[in-house]
């Protein structure tokens, strides 16, 4: 029953003594609906059918005592919130403390003065109503906050997705490269979370932010001149050096965004990926020639996903390699280009990776759900691709 509605609140008065039941009812009935119940067992049965606004509960009763009865009530989610006041002849600090420790809201000893009993019942009903109102308010507030967070996340995702599209449109290559790379990474990070070696580290990451950040790994290409970025022929040494500045451009762009939006995990991850995704395990990558575990784990993951997708994609200067060929090339480059253990894990996920890669064929056939078919960002070194040269730019 709900005391917030404009009707009399309902009180269950539980006592094995008829005189006590009558006295209690006489004190309260003009203001409340009082249901008298002669035992703890019968109270529990009554609670299955209806919920009162408050229970006045005797302690010493044949069968279930008041203490046992309240324990059952407080274990049941349906009755845990009903306020219980012990109304008992059992006095003494110890009993009172025990009663209150069992989550009774008050402890009144008999004989009681009727006006005082009425006042205390009023007080507890009022407190209970306020508590309920506060809980409803908090729930509503939480819903509103969650809605706002969702709005912000949507905006966040939309802006990052938009930035990734801008990068891809400039590059005019195959469609949805960054989205596929993001999916390969998701498969990889989930698998890493189940391994002894990586689980602890991966657990510290904000996985959603990390995967969103993957869309921005080539953001630095925005600053590469069209003549170089869109060139179909093999790049000259000088052009290659310009192209290889894109990780540094990416880092700088993301740092300037971080100055405006500090403490955004997605930007921190994106900076790591953008800056280090072309480093190689053997120390011959760029821009810093980092070696082995000097390269951030996330960047080592990105290197695998990025190169795999470039391998299975067609370019003006190369055919699309099959999934099996790409996996073989990755195996051949474990320990040189790629972190060997991570490469092994990536290859072990071959079936899932291949499933995602099939989306590329869907794009080729023009049946991808997005339209128009966009072209992608990763470019293999023109004319330089062989099993020993898997660098993507
Ligand atoms: Fe790149």
CA of 128 to the centre of ligand 1 (A): 61
Residue 374's pLDDT is: 34
Is the model's pLDDT at 367 over the cut of 80?
no
Both tokens of 116, joined, read 């005082």
Would you list the DSSP string of 167-193?
Answer: HHHHH--STTHHHHHHHHHHHHHHHHT
pLDDT > 90 in the chain, percent: 69
CA of 377 to the centre of ligand 1 (A): 8
Q: What dihedral do alpha carbons 290, 291, 296, 300 form, nearest 10°?
A: 110
Is the model's pLDDT at 69 over the cut of 50?
yes
| Residues in contact with 282: Cβ distance below 8 Å, sequence separation at least 6, in sequence order | 291, 335, 336, 337
Q: CA 258, CA 266: separation in Å to the nearest integer? A: 10
Is the model's pLDDT at 144 over the cut of 90?
yes
Cβ–Cβ under 8 Å, residues 18 and 12:
no
Residue 318, H or E segment: none
Same domain? For 120 and 62 the reply is yes
- The answer as to whether 151 is a domain residue is no
Same domain? For 37 and 123 the reply is yes
Q: How confident is the model at residue 287 (pLDDT cuts 50, 70, 90)?
A: very high
End-to-end CA distance of the chain: 69
CA of 151 to the centre of ligand 1 (A): 31
CA of 218 to the centre of ligand 1 (A): 5
- Over residues 150-173, the mean pLDDT reads 79
- The answer as to whether 162 is a domain residue is no
CA of 208 to the centre of ligand 1 (A): 21
Residue 388's pLDDT is: 40
Q: How confident is the model at residue 50 (pLDDT cuts 50, 70, 90)?
A: very high
Is the model's pLDDT at 187 over the cut of 90?
yes
- For position 219, which CATH number holds? 1.10.3210.10
Residue 373's pLDDT is: 34
Q: What is the bridge-based pairing of β-strands 106-109 and 54-57? A: unpaired
Q: How many CB atoms lie within 10 A of CB 7?
A: 10
More confident residue, 6 or 121: 121
More confident residue, 294 or 171: 294
Is the model's pLDDT at 16 over the cut of 80?
yes
Q: How confident is the model at residue 363 (pLDDT cuts 50, 70, 90)?
A: low
Structural domain for 59, as ranges = 10-134
Cβ–Cβ under 8 Å, residues 376 and 168:
yes
Residue 196's pLDDT is: 96
Question: For 249-274, what is each residue's pLDDT tens digit?
Answer: 999 999 999 998 888 899 999 999 99
Is the model's pLDDT at 357 over the cut of 80?
yes
Q: CA 341, CA 362: separation in Å to the nearest integer? A: 31
Residue 172's pLDDT is: 57
Q: Tell me the residues surrounding ligand 1 (ion) with CB < 5 Å.
A: 218
- The answer as to whether 155 is a domain residue is no
- The answer as to whether 329 is a domain residue is yes
Residue 361's pLDDT is: 63
- The answer as to whether 76 is a domain residue is yes
Is the model's pLDDT at 147 over the cut of 90?
yes
Q: Which of 11-25, 95-109, 238-252, 377-391 is predicted least confidently? A: 377-391
CA of 227 to the centre of ligand 1 (A): 17
Which residues, listed in sequence order, are joined to residue 34 by a DSSP beta bridge? 11
Same domain? For 67 and 201 the reply is no
Q: How confident is the model at residue 392 (pLDDT cuts 50, 70, 90)?
A: low
Q: Which of 15-29, 152-166, 245-259, 287-301 is predicted least confidently? A: 152-166
Same domain? For 281 and 351 the reply is yes
CA of 277 to the centre of ligand 1 (A): 7
Both tokens of 104, joined, read 């009774």
Q: Taking Cα atoms as reference points, which of 32, 34, 27 lies closest to residue 8? A: 32
Same domain? For 333 and 250 the reply is yes
Same domain? For 15 and 121 the reply is yes
- Over residues 172-189, the mean pLDDT reads 84
CA of 117 to the centre of ligand 1 (A): 77
Q: Round the average pLDDT of the chain to a whole number and report it.
A: 88
Is the model's pLDDT at 376 over the cut of 60?
no
CA of 352 to the centre of ligand 1 (A): 23
Write a three-state SS string for 25-53: HHHHCCCCEEEEECCHHHHHHHHHHCCCC
Same domain? For 221 and 103 the reply is no
pLDDT > 70 in the chain, percent: 88
- Over residues 313-321, the mean pLDDT reads 80
- The answer as to whether 299 is a domain residue is yes
CA of 364 to the centre of ligand 1 (A): 22
- The answer as to whether 145 is a domain residue is no
Is the model's pLDDT at 381 over the cut of 50?
no
Residue 2's pLDDT is: 47
Is the model's pLDDT at 389 over the cut of 60?
no
Q: Taking Cα atoms as reference points, which of 345, 271, 354 lies closest to residue 311? A: 354
Is the model's pLDDT at 244 over the cut of 70?
yes
CA of 263 to the centre of ligand 1 (A): 25
Same domain? For 21 and 120 the reply is yes
- For position 25, which CATH number holds? 3.40.50.2300
- The answer as to whether 388 is a domain residue is no
Residue 366's pLDDT is: 56
Same domain? For 100 and 237 the reply is no
Q: How many CB atoms lie within 10 A of CB 45?
A: 11
More confident residue, 60 or 96: 60
Is the model's pLDDT at 188 over the cut of 80?
yes
Would you list the DSSP string of 284-304?
Answer: --SSS---GGGS-HHHHHHHH
Residue 73's pLDDT is: 97
Same domain? For 313 and 238 the reply is yes
Question: DSSP label at 204?
Answer: T
Same domain? For 202 and 295 the reply is yes
Same domain? For 120 and 244 the reply is no
Q: CA 34, CA 24: separation in Å to the nearest integer? A: 9
Number of folded domains that form the chain: 2
């Amino acid at each position: 029953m709900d005391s917030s509605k404009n009707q009399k609140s309902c009180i269950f008065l539980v006592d094995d003594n008829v005189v006590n039941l009558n006295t209690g009812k006489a004190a309260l009935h003009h203001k409340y609906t009082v249901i008298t119940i002669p035992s703890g067992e019968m109270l529990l049965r009554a609670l299955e059918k209806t919920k009162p606004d408050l229970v006045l509960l005797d302690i010493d009763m044949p069968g279930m005592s008041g203490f046992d009865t309240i324990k059952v009530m407080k274990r049941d989610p349906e009755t845990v919130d009903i306020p219980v006041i012990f109304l008992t002849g059992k006095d003494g600090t110890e009993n009172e403390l025990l009663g209150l420790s069992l989550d009774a809201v008050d402890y009144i000893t008999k004989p009681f003065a009727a006006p005082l009993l009425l006042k205390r019942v009023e007080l507890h009903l009022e407190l209970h109503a306020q508590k309920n109102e506060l809980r409803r308010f908090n729930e509503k507030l939480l819903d509103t906050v969650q809605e706002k967070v969702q709005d912000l996340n949507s905006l966040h995702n939309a802006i990052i997705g938009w930035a990734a599209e801008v990068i891809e449109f400039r590059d005019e290559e195959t469609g949805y490269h960054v989205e596929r790379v993001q999916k390969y990474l998701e498969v990889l990070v989930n698998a890493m979370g189940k391994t002894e070696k990586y689980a602890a580290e991966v657990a510290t990451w904000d996985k959603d932010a990390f995967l969103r950040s993957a869309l921005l790994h080539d953001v630095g290409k925005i600053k590469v001149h069209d003549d170089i970025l869109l060139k179909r022929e093999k790049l000259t040494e000088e052009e290659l050096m310009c192209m290889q500045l894109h990780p540094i451009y990416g880092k700088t762009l993301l740092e300037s965004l971080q100055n405006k939006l500090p403490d955004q995990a997605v930007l921190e991850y994106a900076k790591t990926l953008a800056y280090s995704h072309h480093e190689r395990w053997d120390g011959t990558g760029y821009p810093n020639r980092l070696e082995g575990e000097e390269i951030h784990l996330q960047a080592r993951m990105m290197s695998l996903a990025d190169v795999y997708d470039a391998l299975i994609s067609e370019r003006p200067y190369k055919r699309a390699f099959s999934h099996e060929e790409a996996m073989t090339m990755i195996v051949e480059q474990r320990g040189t280009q790629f972190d060997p253990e991570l490469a092994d894990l990536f290859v072990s996920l071959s079936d899932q990776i291949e499933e995602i890669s099939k989306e590329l064929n869907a794009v080729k056939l023009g049946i991808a759900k997005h339209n128009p078919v966009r072209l992608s960002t990763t470019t293999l070194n023109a004319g330089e691709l062989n099993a020993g040269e898997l660098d993507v730019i």
